[in-house]
Amino acid sequence: MLCSRIVPRVTDATVADRTDIPGRVLARLADAFGVGEVRGPRYLADGLMNVNWKVDTPAGAFALKRVTDVPRDRLSRNLGILAPLAEDGIPVSAPVMTTAGSLVAEVAGGVWCLFPWAAGAHVRGIDLSLSQAASLGTHLGRLHVSLGRVCGRGLLPVVPDAVSADVTLPERAVEKSHRLSEAVAAKGIGSAFDAATSVALDHRRALITKHADLRPRHATAEGTHGWTHGDFQYRNLLWEGEELAAVLDWDRVGVRPYAEEVARTAQVQFGVDGVFDLDRVSAFVGGYRTVVPLEATALVDGVRRLWWKRMTDFWQLEFHYDRGDFSCDELFTADEALLHWWTDRLDQVEDAFAAG
C-alpha cells in the first residue's frame, strides 16, 4: 500500500542520496530536457518510493521525478497516455519531452521524468466536504472512462476478457503470522512496537479464524473491469479550493476490477484514525456511479475482497522484520485499528458502499 514507498530509515548516506542531486547530474538533466540552468532544487519530503524535487529553471518551475520501482518501458507507456488524457479533460500534467524525443531520461544510473509544476494542496479524504467527496468519485469515474478511450486508440493494450485475484487462504495467513511472531520473539526484550506487534498478531490470528467463512470464495471479481490509475489517493491528488487540480503518479496504471479501485480509494481516503467516514464513502461512491453505473453487488464484492486482503496481509511487518525498514510502523498500527473497527461493522461498511 502507501507507506511501502516512503523513504526507508536506513543509513544517513542513503537518505542523503535521495535528498541531494549532485550539480553535475542536475546539469546533465537540464541539458537532457532542454530547460536551461536549474536553480534551487527543493527535495519534496512527501515523496514516496519514487523521489521528487521541485526545480526552478529559465523555462519555468517543474517537478523532477526519479523513478525507482517501474521498468522503463512501462513508465514510458504510462507517461505516453497523459497528453491524451489531458485532451480528454482529465486534470493531468503531460510530461516534458527530452531533446532526444523521449519522455524519460537516463542519467547517472537513474531514470528521470519531468513535469510542469502543478499548483495545489494534498487534502486528506476526511478533510474534504461531502460535495468534494462526491466530486472525487465523479473524477475517478471519468478517469476510468477516459482510460478506456485511450485504450481504444491503441495507446494501451487491449483489456482481457477476465481478470482474477488470488484470495489468500486462512491457513496461509495464519502461517505467515506465526513466522512474524517468531521474528518478534527472536528479538528478546525488544521495543514497545515489538510488544504491541506480538499482541496484534495474536489478535489477528483469532480474527482470521473467527471470520474465515466470510472471505471471498472465488478469484473472479464481480462487475466490470478495465484500465485504472492504481494509486488514486490523496498523496497523488492536488486540490485548489473546491476543485481537483491534478492527478499525479501514473506508475501503477493497470487493468483491474473497477470496484477494486473504488474500494481501495475509499479506504485510503476515508478510513482514517481507525474508523471509516461512511457518509463520505457513500458520497464518493455515489459520485462515481453517476459516471460508471457499477452495480451495488460489485461494490460490495470489491470492499469484501479488500477487507479480506487487509485481514491476511502483513506487509508493514514484513518491511520491519524482514527488511529492517521501520518507516511503516505507524501505518501498521493505524491499519490494525481500522481492520478491527471494520470487521465489527462489516455489514454497515458494505451498506455504505451499496447505498452510494
Q: Looking at the structure, do residues 156 and 13 belong to the same domain, yes or no?
A: no
**Residue 312: predicted pLDDT:** 97
**Residue 173: predicted pLDDT:** 97
Task: Round to whole Å and give the CA distance between 284 and 128.
Answer: 10
**Residue 62: predicted pLDDT:** 95
Q: Looking at the structure, do residues 98 and 134 belong to the same domain, yes or no?
A: no
**Residue 21: predicted pLDDT:** 84
The contacts of residue 177 (CB under 8 Å, 6+ apart) are 201, 204, 205, 208, 314
Q: Looking at the structure, do residues 108 and 137 belong to the same domain, yes or no?
A: no
**Residue 175: predicted pLDDT:** 98
Q: Looking at the structure, do residues 36 and 139 belong to the same domain, yes or no?
A: no
- The domain boundary residue, chosen from 116, 150, 174: 116
- For Cα atoms 100, 104, 109, give the angle at the middle one, nearest 5 degrees: 105
Q: Looking at the structure, do residues 155 and 299 belong to the same domain, yes or no?
A: yes
Q: At residue 214, what are phi and psi to the nearest 5 degrees? A: -90, 0
Query: What tens digit of pLDDT does each residue of 115-151 get?
Result: 999 999 999 999 999 999 999 999 999 999 999 999 9
**Residue 7: predicted pLDDT:** 34
CB 143 within 8 A of CB 86: no
Residues of the chain with pLDDT below 70 are 1-18, 46-49
Residue 199 lies in a domain: no
Query: What tens digit of pLDDT does each residue of 197-224 get?
Result: 999 999 999 999 999 999 999 999 999 9
Q: Looking at the structure, do residues 133 and 280 belong to the same domain, yes or no?
A: yes
β 254-257/105-107 pair status: unpaired
**Residue 277: predicted pLDDT:** 97
CB 226 within 8 A of CB 151: yes
Q: Looking at the structure, do residues 145 and 74 belong to the same domain, yes or no?
A: no
Task: Round to whole Å and give the CA distance between 303 and 270.
Answer: 13
**Residue 328: predicted pLDDT:** 84
Identify the three-state secondary structure at position 27: helix
Helix (H) or strand (E) holding 353: helix 346-355
Query: What tens digit of pLDDT does each residue of 244-255 get?
Result: 999 999 989 999
Task: Round to whole Å and give the CA distance between 147 and 141.
Answer: 10
Q: Looking at the structure, do residues 152 and 50 belong to the same domain, yes or no?
A: no
Write down how long the chain is: 356
Helix (H) or strand (E) holding 272: strand 271-272
- For Cα atoms 167, 233, 164, give the angle at the middle one, nearest 5 degrees: 25
**How many CB atoms within 10 Å of residue 37?**
12
**Residue 18: predicted pLDDT:** 62
**Residue 42: predicted pLDDT:** 86
- The domain boundary residue, chosen from 116, 143, 176: 116
Q: Looking at the structure, do residues 108 and 142 belong to the same domain, yes or no?
A: no
**Residue 165: predicted pLDDT:** 85
Counting the structural domains of the chain, the total is 2
Identify the three-state secondary structure at position 234: helix
Range of the domain at 331: 125-165+214-355
Residue 73 lies in a domain: yes
